[in-house]
A and B are shown apart, each in its own frame.
Chain A
């Protein structure tokens, strides 16, 4: 086996990384505990809010319906992310010879993808997922 690295050997850097990752935050907190002087006061203990005095209670109730907005947002956000590598394929001269229904293959595929997402948007609007109540 000498000389020939085993599969496990490739993971040694990863193991070192994980151990270091565990040590650093513990060491930092421990160092603060040991070195820093501790002089608490009422002002210091209050919530930091851009230098202003905090108002009202932190434990308020608010509607969770925003999660639907968040989900729809994430979908379209990912769509845009997906468009970036697509541009690269679209610009590739070698791939432009593939044609589907008289259009560039890449255009066709992206069109399909966006139409499906559009159907999703119509669905979300019609099912009143985007109405704020």
Chain B
């Protein structure tokens, strides 16, 4: 057997081996937290290099393990997103966990979660997809409770219960699809679903959409998200919002666009309702929150609504004469928004982690909320780097140029108009305007209010992670062409040739 054949999967293999190594070394050595952190960081950087080199090479489109894993432009795009997010979490964690007890477990779980997400983005078989989903989910359930505070445990418990229920939904949908088509291969389902249309296929579609919508946190399946993002350790919330949620999109893109293409009209309608509800409700609910992490959570829900527009636009476009180009453009817009949102939300949660650290240093009053917006008062003077980066992320989330958030929204909303979905584009733009209210509210607290305490020195890990994220967010906004081209190439994978 030629191992060289498997080089495109080197990144996953490396991270898996590294996770096992981290567990082993972590249990044998004392005070190994920082070492394990740097080791994980090195592994993630090398993996990102491997993924990018595969993405650039001509080897794309290869399939492995009996047609269950595919290495194509789409999978490499998502893998790059997941790896960047995990890298940021690791860099920030170097300040957060240092040599704390169990830091090695944190890194091992993080690496395994990343591998799970990468498997999901690559899988072209429902069983592999589910296994990847579960690997990522189980690791993040444990991570959500990592600090073992009461809030952590509540958050993790809610996340765990909702996550398992959604997995059950998804699996039931998959099993019905298997029953209808006799195969678990995504391509096989696509060709069989056309000829064997049955009422049960519709039921399967509903279950699959519900299962994915839980992961993507679309309204009305979003209830777990605010509670979990609020209660879990801030960096883990970032991982959930920036990584785990995008995994739902990676899976849904393949299953909905490729496997269930025959049911286009049905899922078009379902996602039109879901997307419109999600963006509106997410933004409206975010306005009333005083807890900044809850604001981020609801904003994340709203952003998922924008991303879900991709499904609607593709559904509408494919029925039109020149629809393939519009569909490709809209998927590219969705992918750019996913990339941009991963960076922006990760950055925002790192900033929340800095504020949490600051509040802890001030001495937290009993029963007060460390993430309350009043703690952000005067952040511009107390923690200038954090405040400035958060300012950029807030503008980017609202979609103000030149940031990554703007590029994604521009391409996606533009394709919605091209597909004739003017009502959806107008609704999305109105929502973006509405979202400015709560983003500006945080900014006004940071820069216009009197500081509530002395200036603090920001921990290096957090600062480095924040600055790197900010450079990414602005870089994509200023020079979007290569990212757009890459996203178009990735989008082409999903469309019928």
* Chain A contact residues, CB within 8 Å of chain B: 7, 98-100, 105, 116, 119-120, 122-123, 125-127
Report the separation of the CA atoms of residues A127 and B108 in the bound assembly, to the nearest whole angstrom: 15
State the Cβ distance, B64 to closest chain A Cβ, in Å: 15
25 A-B pairs with CB atoms under 8 Å apart are A7-B179, A7-B180, A7-B198, A7-B200, A98-B1, A99-B1, A100-B1, A100-B3, A105-B1, A116-B20, A119-B20, A119-B23, A119-B24, A120-B23, A122-B24, A122-B27, A122-B28, A123-B23, A123-B24, A123-B26, A123-B27, A125-B27, A126-B27, A126-B28, A127-B27
Could you tell me the dominant secondary structure of chain B's interface residues?
A: helix
Interface residues of B in 328-343 (CB under 8 A from A): none
State the Cβ distance, A6 to closest chain B Cβ, in Å: 9
The chain A residue sitting closest to B198, CB to CB, is: A7
State the Cβ distance, A10 to closest chain B Cβ, in Å: 9
* Chain B contact residues, CB within 8 Å of chain A: 1, 3, 20, 23-24, 26-28, 179-180, 198, 200
A-B contact count (CB 8 A): 25
In the complex, which residues of chain A have a beta carbon less than 8 angstroms from the beta carbon of B179?
7
The chain B residue sitting closest to A115, CB to CB, is: B20
Report the separation of the CA atoms of residues A100 and B4 in the bound assembly, to the nearest whole angstrom: 12
Report the separation of the CA atoms of residues A124 and B23 in the bound assembly, to the nearest whole angstrom: 10
In the complex, which residues of chain B have a beta carbon less than 8 angstroms from the beta carbon of A126?
27-28
State the Cβ distance, A122 to closest chain B Cβ, in Å: 6
Report the separation of the CA atoms of residues A119 and B19 in the bound assembly, to the nearest whole angstrom: 11
State the Cβ distance, A99 to closest chain B Cβ, in Å: 7
In the complex, which residues of chain A have a beta carbon less than 8 angstroms from the beta carbon of B27?
122-123, 125-127
Report the separation of the CA atoms of residues A122 and B179 in the bound assembly, to the nearest whole angstrom: 43
State the Cβ distance, A38 to closest chain B Cβ, in Å: 43
Most buried by B among A98, A116, A120, A123: A123
Report the separation of the CA atoms of residues A105 and B26 in the bound assembly, to the nearest whole angstrom: 30
In the complex, which residues of chain B have a beta carbon less than 8 angstroms from the beta carbon of A116?
20
State the Cβ distance, B367 to closest chain A Cβ, in Å: 30
State the Cβ distance, B14 to closest chain A Cβ, in Å: 15
State the Cβ distance, B456 to closest chain A Cβ, in Å: 34
Most buried by A among B23, B179, B200: B23
The chain B residue sitting closest to A127, CB to CB, is: B27
In the complex, which residues of chain A have a beta carbon less than 8 angstroms from the beta carbon of B200?
7
State the Cβ distance, A75 to closest chain B Cβ, in Å: 14
Report the separation of the CA atoms of residues A98 and B200 in the bound assembly, to the nearest whole angstrom: 42
The chain A residue sitting closest to B23, CB to CB, is: A123
In the complex, which residues of chain B have a beta carbon less than 8 angstroms from the beta carbon of A99?
1
